[in-house]
Amino acid sequence: MGPEPAEPNPRPVLPRSTIILLALACATVVAFGLAALRGIFTPVFFAFVLTLCVHPLRRWMQGHGVPRGLATGSTIAAVFALLAGFAAVLVASLAQFSALLPQYGPQLAQLGASITQLLESVGFGPEQTQAVLQGFTPGRIIGFLGGVLGNITSIVASLVIILTMLILMAVDGSRVPALLTHLNYHRPALVDAFNGFGGGVRRYMIATTVLGVAQGLFNWLVLVILQVPGALLWGLLSFICSFIPNIGYFIAIVPPLFFGFLTGGWPTVLAVIVIYGGINSIIQSIIQPKYVGNAVALSETITFVSVLFWAVILGPVGAILAVPLTLLARTILLDSDPTIAWWRPLTGDKKDLEVILKQEDDAIRARRARRGSGTPGPGSKPKA
């Protein structure tokens, strides 16, 4: 007797096209909802990421016999110290920028006049060129920067939410190991998914922070040597932009080029591009994607698209938190459901593809070796 015929796959309740459209509709609703609640969601998620990063410190302290309350208080104090130090450097740098910009008012006016003349020569009308000229004033530039960062009320509100959530999450986090142990009896796949998410976020933050600190210090030193004003601020900006994959470098290099042109002209601009831009492009385009991509198992394409997507949904902070947000989405949608976890390689995880990739590489090397030795490959015919 021959083999029994395989049972046909069960027909889905809804057509595949309908399921895809419903999924896209739900994703659109969620995206608009997050955009509407960005003032709450963004600081809460930022506090959540910080809590994940300091959780190993509390676990290490409790493993050495430190009481639960003291370990929790120590982690809260450590995060507060980091935030306070970063805020102090940021405030000092912004104060330096606000005091520095008015000193270059005449140069800004001259640069604006040159640009308006160029625009008029290519056919722009007087209204458009006048609008461009009015933008090259210290007040307009500071106002634009304030619009990007947000007003004082929103910043203070975000800080209050972050600090409050850090305290509450740190207290609740002391019970997370027991909670995961309890859930492991009922939903082991979900527990594995969230453990993987926490480890991936910590690896990403450590790798990016180390590279960002090195990048910021290097940029600060180079700009001090080139005598570009505001070197401390631009070094801090490059550190922040290091958390924006692929395009952070292009954002961080604009202010040094601008002030380098005002102070030293085109020679300083070329020096910044060659020295500052060359090293940073290597770090952000080669080193950072390699190590950060390995840490979070995300493809470079998805990482870049996630930066654009979350920046549109949550604003500039969304670009900084793009990778942790994408990891959370993958954890909820793919990793928590073993039946669809086979989609994970499409997001950049190469673990299940290592054997196939190795076979392809071996085949390529074999063909190259045959071509170099002149040995005919299989299927080739000898020449007459």
pLDDT digits (tens, 9 = 90+) for 286-322: 776 666 656 677 887 888 889 999 999 988 888 889 9
Q: Read off the pLDDT band of 123 (50, 70, 90).
A: low
Which residues 6+ apart lie within 8 Å of 59 measured at CB?
A: 177
Average pLDDT score over residue span 217-226? 88
Percent of the chain residues past pLDDT 70, beyond the cut: 77
**Quick check: pTM over 0.75?**
yes
Measured distance CA(16)–CA(300) in Å, rounded: 29
Highest mean pLDDT among 94-98, 136-140, 364-368: 364-368
Token pair 């805020």 in the structure block, residue: 87
Mean pLDDT, the chain, as a whole number? Answer: 77
Q: Which amino acid is at 152?
A: I
Range from 73-77, 221-225, 325-329 carrying the lowest mean pLDDT: 73-77
Average pLDDT score over residue span 100-107? 70
